Structure 1
Amino acid sequence: MHDRSISVGWEQYTAFGLRIGSELKLPELVQSAPGAIEDVVIRQADLTASSDQLKQTNFVMQGERFMFQIPGTAIYAVREGRYIEVCIHPGADMDTVRLFVLGTCMGVLLMQRRILPIHGSAVVIRDKAYAFVGESGTGKSTLAAAFRQAGYQMVSDDVIAVKATASEPIVYPAYPQQKLGLDSLLQLEALQGHKRVRSQKHRFVLTHGNPAMPQYGDLRKIAGELNKYAVPTGDEFYNEPLPLGGVFELVTEASNRKFLCEGELTAVMEQPLNVLECLHTLLLHTYRRGTIPRMGLGEWYFGTAVRMARRVEGWRLLRSSSDFTASEMVQRILDILHKEENSYGSH
C-alpha cells in the first residue's frame, strides 16, 4: 500500500530537515501543512516476532532494518532512512515511547540517510550554527539556554543533524525543546539580572526556596532522566538549515588549576583544535556511535567526519566544574568568534 493512503489523517511535522507523517502524536515537533509527500513515516506495527531475539542483545540488524527494545516501553524498528515502526507494550508511558522515537530512532534514521547526528546542542551566531559537545554533565544544554537568554536562537538540543555537502557542512534544525536539569534552571534564573542577558518572556519565580512553574505551564519531567525537564523554546527556535560554523567541546577541569587564570574571576579557558583534534572530537561525540559498525556505515562515517573536521573551526573550552560559568562562557565564545572574524578580515 502506498504511504500516502496509509497516512491520510495522520499528523504532519517537520524536524531535522525532514517532512514527517506520524501515526503517533509528537507534540514536541513543529507541525507542518498537510499534503506534502513525507520523507519519513512513523507508524505502529507488530514487531513481537523479534521479542525473544531482542532479549539477548541491545539491538539487532535484520538486513538493513535496525531493531531494539526498551523493556516495558516498546520495540522499535528503523529502515531505509524512511520508516520508523513502533510496537508499544501494554501500559507503556507515551512520553517514554516518544523519547526513543525522537532520540535513538531518529539518530539511526539520520545515519541511514547519510546525515551525521552529533550529540550536543547548537545555537545560531552570525548566521551560522555553532555546536556545543561534551560528556554528560559538562553543560551543553545549559550553555545553549544561556545563549537563548542572551538573545540568540537555538537550532538543536541533544541531536544535531549535519549533512556534509560538497561545499560545507549544513545543520538541519531539530525541534523547539530543550532538556534542562533543575539546577540549571535555577542558575539560569539567577542570571536574569546580568547586564548582558535580555529579559525573558517566561520567568522562573522562586517561592520559599522552591521553583515555581513558568507562565507557559507546568514543565514536563523527562522520563528516565533524573531531575531533567522539557523546556519549550518557542520563537527562540531557528527552523531553517544553515552552515556549521564551528564546534566547541566543553570540558570540566576542576582538579587541574593550570587551566584557570590565577587572580582573575574567569574560570574558563579555551584551546583551539587542529584538524586531527577536531576529527577526534566529532568522532567521540557522534550520537549513538556504537551502532555504526553493526550498520556497516564505518567507512561513510569516518570519511564524513574527516570532511567536516577540515571545513569547520574547533575549540576546547575548559572550565571549573565547581563554578557556574554559563554567562562567562557565552561572552568567551562571542569573543573567540569576534577574533576569528577579525583575523579572516585582515587577510
Structure 2
Amino acid sequence: MHEYFAFGLCIESDIKLSKLLPNTYTQNIDLKIRKDITATYGIDKPNEEREFIKISNSELWLSIQGVGYFLVRNGTEILYYPDSESNVDNLKIFLLGSCIGAALYQRRQFIIHGNAIEVDGKAVIFAGQSGIGKSTLAAIYHQNGFKVLTDDLALIRSDLHVIPSYPNIKLWEDSATNLSYDTSGLSRVRDNVNKYECPISNNFRSSPAELKAIFILGSHNEMNIISSPLSGIEKFIPLKNNTYRKNYLKAMNLNQHHMNMCTAIASNVPIIALTRPKAGFKLKELFEFSLNEIRQL
C-alpha cells in the first residue's frame, strides 16, 4: 500500500500514484483506493441511473469500456476493477478525476473546474470551458516563479480557502511545446492522446491559500484583452457553469449545499470575466495583463 496527500486528505492506495505528494502530514487514512470485485456490482436504488453511471446520496458507480469499473462510497473509499483490456495509466485518469471528484462531493466539498495559482500569498482560480487555456495560463505563471495549487479540480473550502491537489499540470502538445517542455520525457495523459503530464513539484504550494479572485476565461473576435468584473446575479452563472461534474450534485442531493457555497463565494470574492482574442493565443500578454489585474484588486 502507498500513502499520499491531496485535497487535504490522506489517501491510501494499492496502485502507485506517482504524481501525488507522499503523505507526511497525518497518520489517519481518509480515503482508501483498492482493487475489489465489488466495483463491478453497481449500486442499489440510485437517484440517477444511465448506461454507464449510477449515483445515490452516498455512492457513485462508473463503468468505462476498455478501462474498468469504479465504485465510490461515503467519501472514504474508491473501489476499482480493471477491464481485461485496461492498463494502470488509464485507471489512474478516472481514479484521480471523476472518482476523487465524487468522493469530495460525498464529503460535501465545493469544486470548480479550473486551475489555481498563488499570487502574493493568495489563491487565484482560472476557470472556463475546456480548451480555453486554463492550464496553459497556470503553466506560464509557474514558469515565472509563481506557485501552483491545483490543475483541473479547484476545491474551495467553506472558509474560502483553496486546497492543493497534485503537483502536476496537464498540457496539450502544442501548449507544452510553446512553453519549451520536452514532451519526449513526459507521460501522456492517456494512450494515443497528445496531452502530457508536466510535473511542477519544484514550485507547488502544498498548503491551503485564501481565495483572492476567480477569473472566467473566454475569447472573442476582437484584438485586445478585456477584463470585466461581474456583480450581483452575474456572479452565480459562471460559478454554476464551471462547477465540476454538475450532474453529480442533484443525484447526491447537494443542490442546496452548492447554492450556499455559491452565495458565500459570490458575496466575498471578486469574479472577473477575462476575455482574450480568438486569433492567436498571445500567452505572454495574457499573463502580464492578468497579473496586473490581480495585483490591482
What is the TM-score with the length of structure 1 in the denominator?
Answer: 0.80
How far off is 1:317 after superposition? 0.9
Q: What is the rounded CA distance, in whole Å, between the counterparts of 1:180 and 1:34 in structure 2? A: 29
How far off is 1:56 after superposition? 5.1
How far off is 1:326 after superposition? 1.7
Task: Pick from 196, 206, 212 the counterpart of residue 229 of structure 1.
Answer: 196
Task: Pick from 40, 43, 47 the counterpart of residue 48 of structure 1.
Answer: 40
Change (3 A) 1:310 1:50: same
Greater Cα shift, 57-66 or 21-30:
57-66
Task: Pick from 48, 64, 68 the counterpart of residue 62 of structure 2.
Answer: 68
Instruction: For residues 245-294 of structure 1, give each alpha carbon's deviation from its aligned partner in whole angstroms, at most 9, with x where no partner exists.
Output: 1100110113xx3xx4xxxxxx3111111142222111110111112111
Unaligned stretches of 5+ residues in structure 1:
1-9, 190-202, 205-211, 261-266, 341-347
Report what 1:171 is aligned to. 162
Task: Pick from 91, 98, 104 the counterpart of residue 110 of structure 1.
Answer: 104
- Secondary structure (helix, strand or coil) at the match of 2:152 reads strand
Instruction: For residues 98-133 of structure 1, give each alpha carbon's deviation from its aligned partner in whole angstroms, at most 9, with x where no partner exists.
Output: 000000011111111111111011100011110001
Task: Pick from 83, 92, 107 the counterpart of residue 77 of structure 2.
Answer: 83
Report what 1:313 is aligned to. 270
How far off is 1:66 after superposition? 1.0
Change (3 A) 1:252 1:20: same
Change (3 A) 1:224 1:103: farther
Task: Pick from 218, 231, 235 the counterpart of residue 251 of structure 1.
Answer: 218
Task: Pick from 282, 286, 291 the counterpart of residue 329 of structure 1.
Answer: 286
Report what 1:302 is aligned to. 259
Q: Is the 8 A contact 2:214 2:269 kept in 1?
A: yes
The one-letter code of the counterpart of 1:101 is L
Change (3 A) 1:62 1:122: closer
What is the identity percentage for the equivalent residue pairs of Structure 1 and Structure 2?
Answer: 29
Q: Is the 8 A contact 1:121 1:158 kept in 2?
A: yes
Q: Is the 8 A contact 2:134 2:217 kept in 1?
A: yes
Larger radius of gyration: 1
Unaligned stretches of 5+ residues in structure 2:
none
- Secondary structure (helix, strand or coil) at the match of 1:296 reads coil
Q: What is the rounded CA distance, in whole Å, between the counterparts of 2:64 and 2:238 in structure 1? A: 29
How far off is 1:224 after superposition? 6.0
Is 1:94 aligned with 2:94?
no
Q: Is the 8 A contact 2:55 2:248 kept in 1?
A: no
Report what 1:130 is aligned to. 124
Change (3 A) 1:302 1:55: closer
Is 1:37 aligned with 2:4?
no
1:255-294 correspondence runs (5 A): 257=222, 260=223, 267-294=224-251
Change (3 A) 1:320 1:35: closer
Q: What is the rounded CA distance, in whole Å, between the counterparts of 1:78 and 1:318 in structure 2? A: 37
Q: Is the 8 A contact 1:114 1:163 kept in 2?
A: no
How far off is 1:186 after superposition? 2.0
The one-letter code of the counterpart of 1:227 is N
How far off is 1:219 after superposition? 0.7
Q: Is the 8 A contact 1:42 1:84 kept in 2?
A: yes
Give 4+ residue runs of structure 1 displaced > 6 Å after superposition: none
Q: Is the 8 A contact 1:164 1:308 kept in 2?
A: no
Instruction: For residues 282-307 of structure 1, give each alpha carbon's deviation from its aligned partner in whole angstroms, at most 9, with x where no partner exists.
Output: 11101111121111111111111111
Report what 2:6 is aligned to. 15
Q: Is the 8 A contact 2:57 2:252 kept in 1?
A: no
